[in-house]
Amino acid sequence: MHIVVCVKQVPDTKIIKINPKTNTLDRRSAPAILNPYDAHAVQEAVKIKEKTGGTISVLSMGPPQATAVIKKSVEIGADQGYLISDRAFAGADTLATSYALSKALERIAKELPIDMIICGKHAIDGDTGQVGPGIARRLDIPPVTNVIEVTEVNEREKTVLIKRKLTNGYELVQSEMPCLLTVEKEINDIEYSPMPNMISAARYEPIIWAVDDLENVDRSQLGLKGSPTVVGKMFTPPRPEGGKKLDGSADEQVSQLMDILMEKKDLFTLQSTK
């Protein structure tokens, strides 16, 4: 059983600030962390490995310092990690990112066939949820999104039974393997890493590939050239106005309230009871 988890280094959005001039994220204002959803993806891979055995690999794309999230994944329980890092990947949107990661996954699969790919539901800096399904589409394997439980892995039949969250309930899905899952945070709790894992993570040196280390790559689909997404405008939403205090007697306050309601009447919709 070989599970590959795709992880991303993101700024801590609890701390990050918005540049008032450019209205973009000031990534220097917050520490870089392992995307929380991806941490749960790694933890789920560890849970599956405890039942089936096998190998857990992690894969990330980013600058050289992104090796930190691979080391963190090893601390959680991954066995090995790969980072694809090259100027050619810079400026990639979700389409170009899924293409680059799919090419790296193809190379990993040549070394050790992949049974399952797990991604976090989305990254907290982009919040699109598009990269996981994009990878599955490029590799021509079934994607299952919003997973909250991996119920059963049948290695003999090469199937997996999954519980996924819907808007109005839940759905049980049986998928063939290899497949790709995107997981919710509620799928598990992140466990404290044992000391041997922490030592292994501190000593571990991830495998780093440049674009030339990947095979059959169409450079026109990488980075900014391969990114059709255009951000028209980014802005900070205005702060909500404070409430208005009504003064005077009860009758005066009722009169003031009616004046306000009549002023805002366009905000209300009246429905007929017929």
**What is the separation of C-alpha 8 from the centre of its chain, rounded to a whole number of angstroms?**
7
What is the distance of C-alpha 54 from the center of its chain? Answer: 24
- From residue 175, alpha-carbon distances to 115, 141, 155, 209, 222 in Å are 12, 10, 12, 31, 30
Average pLDDT, rounded, for the chain: 90
The pTM of the full predicted model, rounded to 2 decimals, is 0.82
Identify the segments of the chain with pLDDT beneath 70.
16, 18-29, 235-236, 269-274
Q: What is the pLDDT of residue 19?
A: 67
Positions of E strands within the chain: 2-6, 9-11, 17-18, 25-26, 32-34, 55-61, 80-84, 116-120, 143-154, 159-166, 169-176, 179-183, 207-209
Domains along the chain? 2-221 (3.40.50.620)
For residue 108, how many other CB atoms are within 10 A of its CB? 19
Q: What is the pLDDT of residues 194-240, one digit of tens each?
A: 999 999 999 999 999 999 999 999 999 999 889 998 777 776 677 77
CB atoms within 10 A of CB 217: 17
Bridge partners of residue 61, in order along the sequence: 84
User: Which residues are paired to 209 by β-bridges?
Assistant: 84
Sign of the Cα torsion 171, 174, 175, 181 reads positive
Distance between CA atoms of residues 267 and 242, nearest Å: 18
